[in-house]
A and B are shown apart, each in its own frame.
Chain A
Amino acid sequence: MKIDFTLNGEQREIDVTPMSRLLDVLRCDFELTGSKEGCGEGECGACTVFVDGKAVNSCLIPVAQMQGREVRTVESLASNEMLSDVQQALIKFGGTQCGICTPGIAMMASAALEAEPNASRARMRELMAGNLCRCTGYQLIIDAVISAAEARRRHG
């Protein structure tokens, strides 16, 4: 089945089995290996991508559903080789250790800040609850995201 969709800003067409998981198509067909597979059942969030601007687990989505949609992966998060504020904050605050969850965390945090720029710390914990990290204990991740939110408010 042929599927047309926008991937990281470019129009792409691919001929695949319609029930292929979006994650596999991204990793294998487009060699975008930034999205990771930790569980394959929507529990860990390491495969988080944006579909039409909304954060989703790409391991749960059949690629057929992507017809005409806009998909963004972690590879598109930095623009012109400049890291986004969320990416910079995660580095600065030590919000990444082994890094396997990090692409998903960076994507979800970006989506969370867009959706609720004034989220409290407690609310940010709720927004990030779909992404498992086994290294950090989340403290420094939440610190980083809260700091990025504060910086956005300061700079308008």
Chain B
Amino acid sequence: MVKKKQNRESEPVAEDFRVIGKNHGKVGAMDRLTGVAKYTDDLSLPRMLHAKILRSPHAHARILNIDTSAAEALDGVFGVVVGSEMPTRYGVIPWTPDEQALAADKARYVGDAVAAVAARDEETANAALKLIDVEYEVLEPLCSPQAALASPLKIHENNKKGNISKHVKLEFGEVDNNLKKADLIIEGHYEFHGTNHAAIEPHCALAYYDNKDLLTIWSSTQVPHYLHRELAKVLVLETRQIRVIQPPLGGAFGAKSEPFDLEFVAAKLSMKTGLPVKCLYTREEVFFAHRGRHPFSMDYRMGFDQNGHILAVDAQTILDGGAYSSFGLVTTYYSGQLLCSPYTFDTFRFESTRVYTNKPTCGPKRGHGSVQPRFAIEVQLDKAAHALGLDPIELRRRNFLGENTRTVNGFVVGSNGFPECLDKIEEASRWRERYDKLPYGRGLGVAGSTYISGTNYCVYPSDLPQAGVQICLDRSGRARIFAGCSDIGQGSDTVLAVIAAENLGLEVNDIRVVSADTDLTPVDLGAYSSRITLMMGHACLMAAENLGKKVREAVAQHWECSAKQVILAGRRAQRLDDPEMFIPIQEAFVLAEAIYGTLGTVGYYDTPKEGVHGEYRGAPIGASPAYSFTAHVVEVDVDAETGDVEVIQIWAAHDCGRALAPILVEGQIEGSVYMGAAEALMENHELMPSGLNPGGRRKHGPGLEGVLAHTSLLDYPIPTTLDTPDIASIIVEKPDPRGPYGAKEAGEGPLHPVIPAIANAIYDAIGVRIDELPITPEKIVAAVQAREEENMKGVRHASASAL
């Protein structure tokens, strides 16, 4: 295949690629469709035991004593473990190690793990749990940030500042001055509630310590490398004694991005019994483990000039952290740091306080820490547009950050397709003809966003590459990629195969990807912060280019021409100037192996560190090699009488730099949009109202506080096909010089705008603002009634004046 001549100035276009940008089956899809793929719970080993975990019925209680003797004596029980056997405190962020595998001194939420049993089956393990006698001293439950901030009682005794888990205050430019200068001030209070990831696969781990110095753990984790490190720390083993394998994973969305009690428990019980031990969460335990969206309470004040330019943003946020830190240090920074594009501000200040509460721990759900502030700012912009009489899309265009620039907080932004995203959704939704013109009850709303393509820094200090791959070619004309990254359904294995196939003249089917096995694959940091396409993409490109060069040189020697005259494409090596001259790719690989020996190479990637962010405390947190951009329009139908909201359609345009595998990008956009829409309208990870007993299921602490309102997917409903509107996904490609082939992220950015766009569409439909999520029929009815009462007062007032 002869490459088309192209202008060197311009970016390569889709036709220049053979594999990239085309649609291929997803790597591993066949195994999924036939039921062959073995997820963690599908694995079993001879003589395998089953572990169950005893959990605290109290939201806040000191553990005075644990008596496990009766459980140990039960027939079929092989081992019991309690917290004092694994006392080391850990945490995915090394600066905030405040968790124990099993709580040894104190239970900090209803569901906190206190002991575990391994038995011949789950029934026996559950029976044994009932025989464990835990003596608690019940403490005051602190189930809201307000309660936790007001109480002298500390949830973590060693914490320096009461119940404050993290506090960040940063100011860029003189915010107060600009607020004084502003022609328009928009102030608002916003509430974002908690939501769970609700991956269909509950967490599961299978561990086997073979008594020969090797602990193998199969886990439904999205961060094998971080799990590896923490297991070593808590189990007091060397990392070389541990092998972490991530089998096919049944959904994650951030839910599985740190170590959990079940992995430590399975491992420790295997070490104690010498037998393999599996631990599978129930759905209720998934809700306990949580790490879902933090509830945010936000006060926003923004100043605009009369043309709609943003002069100042002032944001005050309280984050409800739950019982432990998780990624909370990062979440607290992200709550402000990720707000500074796609719009440009002259000045910006944020103060965010994460508070420990006696609730399941919040963490990094898809769009970590930035979905909540994005809701606030995009609704603020809508309010400003109305106040200024400007079209909300036009207001966003006027505040466009630009390309190849810096944000007010110092992040370096490369390509930026936000204006194109706005153009596309404006056209697709017929915005100009319909916005503000639809009949009462119908409305359109718009919002935009940005997201990171990985973070510049590892969670622990390190000068090592963030991503690494190894590629081997074999004599049959195939390639094998060994990659540390976690395919969690997003398709990272496919992305690597596409890049390798493009460079090695292969088809995607010719490539086997072995991923996420700490014994077999080079380190990658994991599937979080939308980092894999960019980082592993670069690593894979480096390795594949090196190998491709060797193959071309070998063929060139054979043909006695220059390596530049040889191209690899379509399972062939071909002469560039003579398309009739070619050999099958396996012959080319054999020629190369004869010259260079066994064909293998490595590739790796580390982020740029110099000049990509400001110089202040916390400046690197949220800095990324490249940023994606997104804009959505949502159309809703609202029944003002009943408060019912039907989302009719969502148009989502997303700038992913370059779509290496467009069908996967489309899947990421649609999955994000679906998940965000459900957060706006349906889902709520919340506690029982105090005093209610959920069906007498368990014993409770005083006041029955801290009990989750839902234990299953029946009472935490997630959208079905009927709750999900048609989604029109539009891919915008603005290649970024920092991405492999220009690629940026696609898996998290498109979740952000849908939530504020729904809120803004409801305003367009019926003229009321719901600033507290989730948007429920009750809130809409109340808002409509309040407006009518307000109008009546106005009428009465007017009549009174007339008299």
**Interface pick from B148-156, B689-697, B710-718:** B710-718
| B727 interface residue (CB < 8 Å to A) | yes
Partner-binding segment picked from A50-58, A60-68, A138-146, A147-155:
A138-146
Q: How far is the CA of A32 from the CA of B249 in the complex (A)?
A: 18
A-B contact count (CB 8 A): 171
CB under 8 Å from chain A, chain B span 24-73 = 25-26, 28-39, 41-42
Q: Which of A89-121 contact B (CB under 8 A)?
A: 90-94, 96-103, 106
Q: Per-position contact with A for B689-725: 1 when CB-CB < 8 Å, else 0?
A: 0000000000000000000000011100010111010
Contact assessment for B726 and A94 in the assembled complex, using a CB-CB cutoff below 8 Å: no
Is the Cβ of B34 less than 8 Å from the Cβ of A98? no
Residues of B within 8 A of A46 (CB): 200
In contact, B712 and A41 (Cβ under 8 angstroms): yes
Q: Once the chains bind, are B29 and A100 in contact (CB under 8 Å)? A: no
Residues 720-749 of chain B: 1 if any A CB is under 8 Å from the residue's CB, otherwise 0? 111010110100000000000000000000
Q: How far is the CB of A72 from chain B (nearest CB, A)?
A: 12
B200 contact from A32, A33, A100, A137, Cβ within 8 A:
A100
Name which residue of chain A comes closest to B670, CB basis.
A137
Task: Judge whether A33 and B33 touch: CB under 8 Å.
Answer: no
A14 at the interface (CB under 8 A from B): no
> Are B721 and A33 in touch, CB under 8 angstroms?
no
Collect the chain B residues with CB atoms within 8 Å of residue A22's CB. Answer: none
Residues of B within 8 A of A137 (CB): 667, 670-675, 724, 727
Q: Is the CB of B32 within 8 A of A99?
A: yes
Task: Kindly list chain B residues whose C-beta atoms are within 8 Å of the C-beta of A92.
Answer: 23, 25
Contacts of A41 in B (CB 8 A): 712-714
B interface residues, how many (CB within 8 angstroms): 56
Q: Complex Cα distance A66/B37, Å?
A: 26
User: Which residues of the partner chain A approach B489 to less than 8 Å between Cβ atoms?
Assistant: 97-99, 135
- Do B720 and A99 touch (CB < 8 A)? no
* Complex contacts, A38 vs chain B, CB 8 Å: 200-202, 250, 713
Q: Separation in Å of the B697 CB from the closest CB of chain A?
A: 14
| Majority secondary structure, B binding face | loop
Which of these, B35, B42, B488, B663, contacts A98 with CB under 8 Å? B488
Q: Is B362 at the interface (CB under 8 A from chain A)? A: no
Q: Does A3 contact B (CB under 8 A)?
A: no
Cβ–Cβ contact B35 & A40, under 8 A: no
Does A7 have its Cβ within 8 Å of any Cβ on chain B? Answer: no
Q: Is A36 in contact with B712, judged by CB distance below 8 angstroms?
A: no
Q: Nearest B residue to A92 by beta-carbon distance?
A: B25
Q: Which residue of B lies closest to A102 (CB)?
A: B32
Is there contact, CB below 8 Å, between A94 and B32?
Answer: no
> Is the pair A96, B34 in contact by a Cβ cutoff of 8 Å?
no
The verdict on B544 contacting chain A, using a C-beta distance below 8 Å, is no
Q: Taking the complex as formed, is A39 at the interface, i.e. its CB lies under 8 A from any CB of chain B?
A: yes
**Which residues of the partner chain B approach A125 to less than 8 Å between Cβ atoms?**
721-722
Is there contact, CB below 8 Å, between A140 and B670?
yes
B667 touches A132 (CB 8 A): no
In the bound complex, how far is the Cα of B524 from the Cα of A3, in angstroms?
A: 49
CB of A77 closer than 8 Å to a CB of B: yes
Q: Find B713's partner among A43, A103, A138 (CB 8 Å cutoff).
A: A43
Chain B 1-41, CB within 8 Å of chain A: the 1/0 string? 00000000000000000000001011011111111111101
The reply to whether A134 and B724 contact each other, CB–CB distance below 8 Å, is no
**From B31, B252, B671, B722, contact of A129 by CB (8 A):** B722
A49 to B664, CA, bound (A): 28
Flag if A134 contacts B283 (CB, 8 Å).
Answer: no
B664 touches A96 (CB 8 A): no
In the bound complex, do residue B666 and residue A140 qualify as a contact, i.e. CB atoms below 8 Å apart? yes
Interface hub of B34, B38, B202 (most chain A Cβ within 10 A): B34
> Is B200 within 8 A of A133, CB to CB?
yes
Query: Is B248 an interface residue, CB under 8 A from the partner?
Result: yes
Of A46, A137, A139, most buried by chain B (CB within 10 Å of CB) is A137
One of B33, B41, B202, B727 near A90 (C-beta < 8 A): B33
List residues of chain A with CB within 8 A of the CB of B713.
Answer: 38-39, 41, 43-44, 132
Within 8 A of A (CB), among B663-684: 663-664, 666-667, 670-675
Is residue B253 contacting chain A, with contact meaning CB distance below 8 A? yes
A96 touches B712 (CB 8 A): no
Give 9 closest A-B pairs by Cβ, nearest first. A34-B35, A98-B489, A100-B250, A99-B32, A137-B674, A137-B670, A33-B42, A74-B35, A94-B663
Additional A-B contacts beyond A40-B283, A140-B670 (14; CB < 8 A)? A38-B200, A38-B250, A41-B712, A75-B34, A97-B667, A98-B249, A99-B28, A100-B251, A102-B33, A129-B722, A133-B200, A138-B674, A138-B724, A139-B670
Between A and B, 14 residue pairs with Cβ closer than 8 Å are A33-B39, A34-B34, A36-B39, A36-B200, A43-B712, A75-B34, A78-B33, A94-B663, A99-B31, A129-B722, A132-B713, A134-B671, A138-B724, A139-B727
Residues of B within 8 A of A (CB): 23, 25-26, 28-39, 41-42, 197-202, 248-253, 282-283, 488-491, 663-664, 666-667, 670-675, 712-714, 718, 720-722, 724, 726-727, 729
